[in-house]
């Protein structure tokens, strides 16, 4: 890979070199086949592909520490989507099973420029299912990931080989169910490894990498504490303070690929959760009006396409999985 | 020189200190040798309404800590040996003092805001930047004039604060969540230096002293109000013929669980920033403070009912909220850093607050008046006076670190 050094970290070459590099071509070819596989998998299970909006009066506030991008929409302050979550829930008014390949923009904190896995602009394979439980949606995410990996290995093995990806790393992923541990047990494991993880917060980036390096196949971390996620992740009625959600982490140090949850759909609970997450309910007018009249319960997830590509292709940096990468804080075309 | 008015505040002595510095810690030098001095009974009487004023600082004869210091120094210690350096809400501060938020109150827009930032930086004490500086004055990143904006103030502070000392505290309240003040600051290149050295805090504004139970209020002209109409309630209490309007924020809805989770979310989203929580002088101030500390807040700031710089209804100024002394009494023993503000401008009131459990005191109106008197040096002079008095008081109490002040150092008549 042709890299320049800037502030001690590798950054993409200029677009001409990046796009014409054989590495980029292999990566984008793999990504193309990943999308074919994902669409086929979801279509076969009765999903309708929808097109996600790009701007709206509000967007997902649940991106830790990231700034939203404001758009002057005829004098109204609109936002670029940080994720399509609110629209995914709304879309269940039309179909019970939907997905989209949605662009997201997040002005991530500058410290994420060094994690190798954050982009300010990225895509998610966004899936939402009416009536689904936490277990059902996790199983769907697992099957989707396995199907896509299997498809890429079958269709474009030469590209993986050109990139030097050791496909024996996928043996665990292909052969059995993904691992599972709760957030609380992940915190305990991290303590055993000498890492001080705040038990009330997201698994921090260094901790995520530690857990990921130790794993032999993808694994779920479930039941995050309230106070670490957005208002739409459903709180357990049996274990208050725990959310019925999950992250899916890849092994080998690649870290988080996907976040999902059962969704909160009770109007009064959503209002209270908005306040708990420091949000001003007034700005969510259209969404709350819809929730007040009733929306289907369900569950869903967003699978980060560039991160998933990085994992399958075995790349050092997530930006290598984008034709036009935007590294947080770096003004790139 | 302008003349910022502050009818409910000892404006003249603050202005004198801002202009002349530590000479004002003492009676007029010209009187020395020609007059006798003593406590003013009229003033003592007038103080009776404020619980903090009723307290007196009382020095002991026996001073074992002075002996320890004497042994340490091998000479008799004086007030110049008192250490004032303190930890204030997670920051190392030159003294147990910080500059409170002034918000976007008109008196604070523009140059005075920058002067406050610069002088707080020079002093090496934390600076709180008010919740609505960004929604009203802007952030200051893309184009235009950065002066008076959030970025302008942070830059001015960072340019003057000594390495390893001080910190900047950015406030946000319910309705500023729309403007993502914290997200903006956390991801901004201008803030990275302070963030990397652990000198940024975010303050969740739950309420304020001057109008507990109400949100922020600003009086604006129609044109400015139209720009903010989407985000704030606009009211016309001054009559339809008047082109000035009242812009109000909502106070925000809090329960114990909402406060706890908001603090947790701040720690989750901004792991490199300290978390401060600002409470109004409310009857359940102890329960709220404990909830914030237990959720992991680095500091709780309490603004007494005598505090505040901003516009507020007269009924609230005169009849609503607990005085700071009562807030301190209700909070009592506590596990973590408590910061307080409310009519603080000199060392004695500061020392009483510290003795009654505060870790540091905030300057609000006093800082404004001082900056208005002398925009170059006013705040520095005022704080130097306070520091000198504080050192003398701590030494008189037989102690040599300001953190050693405790309830034994104060006496409330009748108890």
Q: Does A111 touch chain B if contact means CB atoms closer than 8 Å?
A: yes
- Per-residue confidence (pLDDT) for residue A3, from 0 to 100: 41
Q: Hey, is the C-beta of A57 within 8 angstroms of any chain B C-beta? A: no
Q: Do B186 and A108 touch (CB under 8 A)?
A: no
Weakest-pLDDT range from A8-12, A96-100, A124-128, B395-399:
A8-12
| Chain B contacts to A (CB-CB under 8 A) | 172, 174-175, 177-178, 180, 183-184, 186-187, 189, 192, 204, 230, 252-255, 257-258, 260-272, 295-296
Judging contacts by C-beta atoms under 8 Å, the chain A residues touching residue B187 are 65-67, 107-110, 328-329
Supply the range of the domain harboring residue B389. 80-215+250-411
Domain count, chain B: 1
**Contact criterion met (CB < 8 Å) for B230 and A226:** no
Contact yes or no for B187 and A67 at CB 8 A: yes
| pLDDT reported for residue B301 | 97
Encode pLDDT of B76-105 as tens digits. Answer: 999 999 999 999 999 999 999 999 987 555
> What does the CA dihedral A316, A317, A320, A326 come to, rounded to 10 degrees?
-170
Q: Under a CB-based contact definition with an 8 Å cutoff, are residues B366 and B107 in contact?
A: no
Q: Which of B271, B277, B298 to mutate to test the interface with A (most CBs of A within 10 A)?
A: B271
Which CATH code of 3.40.50.150, 3.30.930.10, 3.30.390.30, 3.40.50.10440 fits the domain covering A4-321? 3.30.930.10
Report the distance separating Cα A80 and Cα A162, nearest Å.
Answer: 36
CB contact under 8 A, A277 and B262: yes
Task: Give pLDDT, residue B369.
Answer: 93
Please indicate whether residue B31 or residue B70 has the higher confidence score (pLDDT). Answer: B70
pLDDT over 90 at B49, yes or no: no
Range with lowest mean pLDDT among A128-132, A287-291, B5-9, B360-364 = B5-9
Q: What CATH number did the domain enclosing B267 receive? A: 3.20.20.70
Q: Return the pLDDT at B373.
A: 94
At residue A10 the predicted structure's pLDDT band, cuts being 50, 70 and 90, is: confident
pTM, two decimal places: 0.89
Q: Do B362 and B100 contact (CB within 8 A), yes or no? A: yes
For residues B337 and B298, the answer to whether their CB atoms sit within 8 Å is: yes
Domain for residue B395, yes or no?
A: yes
Question: What does the pLDDT look like over B307-345, one tens digit per residue?
Answer: 776 678 888 888 889 999 999 999 999 999 999 999 999
Judged by a CB distance cut-off of 8 A, whether residue A253 touches chain B is no
Q: Which ranges in chain A belong to alpha helices (H)?
A: 15-20, 22-44, 85-91, 134-155, 157-162, 171-175, 183-192, 205-214, 267-276, 285-293, 305-313
Comparing CB atoms, the residue among B184, B187, B262 nearest residue A108 is: B187
Q: Tell me the per-residue pLDDT of B273-319, one tens digit each, with 9 for 90 and over.
A: 999 999 999 999 999 999 999 999 999 999 999 877 667 888 888 88
**Residue A288: what pLDDT?**
96
φ/ψ (deg, to 5) at B8:
-95, 25
ipTM of the complex: 0.85
pLDDT tens digits for B168-223? 999 988 766 667 889 888 988 889 999 999 999 999 999 988 888 888 777 888 87
**Per the CB < 8 Å rule, is A200 touching B177?**
no
Handedness of CA A286, A290, A293, A298 (dihedral sign): negative
Inspect the interface and report whether the beta carbons of B261 and A77 lie closer than 8 Å. Answer: no
Q: Which residue has the higher pLDDT, A127 or A62?
A: A127
Interchain contact, B252 vs A275, CB within 8 Å: yes
User: CB of A276 within 8 Å of any CB in chain B?
Assistant: yes
Size of interface A-B (CB pairs under 8 A): 92
Query: Hey, where are the domains in chain A?
Result: 4-321
A321 versus A76: the higher-pLDDT residue is A321
Closest approach of A14 to chain B, Cα-based (Å): 23
Cα–Cα distances in Å, from B408 out to A119, B82, B91, B150, B397?
Answer: 57, 18, 27, 42, 10
B175, B260, B269 member nearest A280 (Cβ): B175
- The alpha-carbon gap from A121 to the nearest alpha carbon of chain B, in Å, equals 15
B264:A66 CB<8 A: no
A283–B260 CB contact, under 8 Å: no
| Whether the predicted pLDDT of B1 surpasses 50 | no
Q: Is A60 on the interface with B (CB under 8 A)?
A: no
Burial of B97 (0-12, 13-18, 19+ CB in 10 A): buried
Task: Give B60's contacts (C-beta < 8 A, 6+ positions apart).
Answer: B397, B398
pLDDT tops 90 at residue B236: no
Q: Residue A229's closest chain B neighbor by CA?
A: B265
pLDDT tens, position by position, A224-282:
999 888 999 999 999 999 999 999 999 999 999 999 999 999 999 999 999 999 888 98
Residue A71 — φ and ψ, nearest 5°? -125, 135
Element (H, E) at B372: helix B365-373
Enumerate residues 6+ apart whose C-beta is below 8 A from B57. B348, B351, B352, B355, B393, B396, B397, B409, B410, B411
Residue B244 lies in a domain: no
- Which band of pLDDT confidence, cut at 50, 70 and 90, is reported for residue A7? very low
Asked whether residue B68 is assigned to any structural domain, the reply reads no
Q: Do B254 and A275 touch (CB under 8 A)?
A: yes
Higher pLDDT, B124 or B4: B124
CB atoms B189 and A110 under 8 Å: yes
Q: Do B187 and A228 touch (CB under 8 A)?
A: no
Residue A140 or residue B28, greater confidence: A140
What pLDDT does B325 receive? 95
Task: Flag whether pLDDT at B106 surpasses 70.
Answer: no
**Residue A149, pLDDT score:** 98
Question: Helix axis angle, B378-396 relative to B347-355, nearest 10°?
Answer: 50
A210, A193 Cβ separation under 8 angstroms? yes
CA B302 remoteness from chain centre: 9
Per-residue confidence at B60, pLDDT binned at 50, 70, 90? Answer: very high
Per the CB < 8 A criterion, the answer to whether B126 and B169 are in contact is yes
Could you give the 3-state DSSP secondary structure of residue B47?
A: helix
- List pLDDT tens digits, range A22-60: 999 999 999 999 999 999 999 999 999 999 999 999 999
CB contact at 8 A, B305 and B243 = no
- Give residues 147 to 206 of A whose Cβ lies within 8 Å of B: 198, 200-202, 204
* Mean of the per-residue pLDDT values of chain A: 93
Q: What is the pLDDT of residue A249?
A: 98
What is the average pLDDT across A148-159?
98
């Amino acid at each position: 890979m042709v890299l320049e050094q800037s502030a001690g970290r590798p950054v993409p070459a200029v677009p001409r070199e990046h796009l014409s590099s054989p590495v980029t071509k292999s990566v984008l070819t793999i990504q193309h086949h990943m999308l074919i596989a994902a669409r086929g998998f979801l279509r076969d299970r009765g999903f309708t592909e929808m097109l996600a909006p790009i701007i709206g009066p509000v967007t997902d506030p649940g991106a830790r520490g990231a700034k939203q991008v404001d758009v002057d929409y005829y004098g109204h302050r609109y936002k670029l989507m940080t994720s399509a979550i609110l629209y995914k829930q709304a879309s269940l008014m039309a179909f019970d099973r939907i997905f989209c390949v949605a662009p997201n923009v997040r002005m991530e904190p500058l410290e994420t420029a060094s994690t190798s896995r954050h982009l300010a602009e990225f895509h998610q394979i966004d899936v939402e299912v009416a009536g689904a439980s936490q277990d059902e949606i996790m199983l769907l995410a697992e099957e989707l990931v396995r199907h896509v990996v299997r498809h890429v290995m079958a269709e474009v093995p030469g590209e993986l080989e050109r990139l030097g990806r050791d496909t024996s790393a996928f043996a665990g992923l292909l052969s059995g169910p993904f691992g599972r541990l709760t957030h609380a047990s992940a915190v305990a494991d991290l303590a055993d490894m000498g890492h001080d993880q705040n038990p009330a917060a997201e698994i921090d980036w260094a901790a995520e990498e530690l857990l990921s390096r130790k794993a032999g196949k993808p694994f779920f971390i479930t039941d995050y504490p309230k106070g670490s996620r957005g208002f739409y992740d459903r709180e357990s009625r049996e274990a208050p303070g725990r959310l019925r959600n999950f992250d899916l982490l890849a092994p080998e140090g690649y870290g988080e690929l996907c976040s999902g949850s059962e969704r909160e759909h009770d109007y009064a609970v959503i209002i209270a959760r908005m306040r708990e997450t420091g949000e001003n309910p007034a700005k969510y007018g259209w969404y709350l009006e819809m929730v007040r009249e009733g929306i289907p319960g369900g569950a869903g997830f967003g699978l980060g396409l560039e991160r998933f590509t990085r994992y399958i292709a075995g790349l050092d940096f997530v930006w290598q999985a984008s034709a036009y990468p935007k590294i947080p804080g770096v003004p790139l075309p | 020189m302008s003349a910022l008015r502050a009818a409910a505040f000892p404006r003249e002595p603050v202005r004198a200190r801002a202009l002349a510095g530590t000479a004002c810690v003492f009676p007029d030098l010209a009187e020395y040798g020609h007059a006798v001095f003593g406590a003013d009974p009229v003033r003592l009487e007038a103080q009776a309404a404020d619980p903090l004023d009723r307290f007196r600082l009382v020095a002991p004869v026996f001073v074992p800590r002075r002996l320890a210091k004497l042994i340490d120094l091998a000479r008799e210690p004086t007030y110049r040996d008192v250490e004032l350096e303190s930890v204030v809400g997670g920051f190392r501060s030159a003294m147990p003092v910080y500059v409170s938020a002034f918000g976007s109150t008109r008196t604070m827009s523009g140059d005075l805001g920058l002067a406050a930032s610069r002088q707080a930086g020079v002093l090496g004490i934390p600076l709180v930047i008010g919740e609505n500086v960004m929604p009203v004055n802007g952030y200051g990143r893309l184009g235009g004039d950065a002066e008076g904006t959030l970025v302008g103030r942070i830059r001015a502070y960072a340019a003057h604060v000594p390495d390893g000392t001080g910190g900047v505290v950015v406030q946000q309240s319910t309705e500023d969540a729309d403007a993502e003040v914290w997200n903006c600051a956390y991801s901004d290149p201008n803030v990275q230096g302070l963030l990397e050295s652990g000198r940024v805090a975010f303050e969740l504004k739950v309420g304020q002293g001057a109008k507990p139970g109400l949100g922020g209020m600003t009086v604006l002209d129609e044109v400015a109000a139209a720009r903010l109409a989407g985000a704030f309630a606009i009211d016309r209490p001054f009559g339809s013929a008047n082109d000035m309007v009242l812009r109000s924020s909502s106070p925000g809805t809090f329960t114990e669980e909402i406060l706890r989770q908001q603090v947790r979310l701040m720690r989750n989203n901004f792991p490199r920033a300290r978390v401060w929580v600002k409470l109004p002088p409310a009857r359940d101030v102890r329960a709220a403070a404990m909830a914030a500390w237990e959720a992991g807040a680095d500091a709780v700031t309490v603004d007494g009912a005598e505090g505040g710089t901003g516009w507020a209804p007269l009924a609230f100024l005169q009849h609503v909220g607990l005085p700071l002394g009562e807030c301190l009494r209700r909070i009592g023993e506590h596990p973590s850093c408590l910061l307080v503000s409310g009519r603080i401008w000199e060392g004695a009131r500061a020392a009483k607050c510290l003795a009654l459990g505060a870790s540091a005191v905030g300057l609000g109106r006093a800082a404004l008046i001082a900056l208005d008197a002398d925009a170059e040096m006013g705040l520095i002079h005022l704080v130097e006076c306070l520091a000198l008095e504080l050192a003398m008081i701590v030494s008189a109490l037989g102690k040599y670190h300001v953190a050693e002040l405790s309830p034994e150092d104060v006496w409330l008549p009748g108890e």
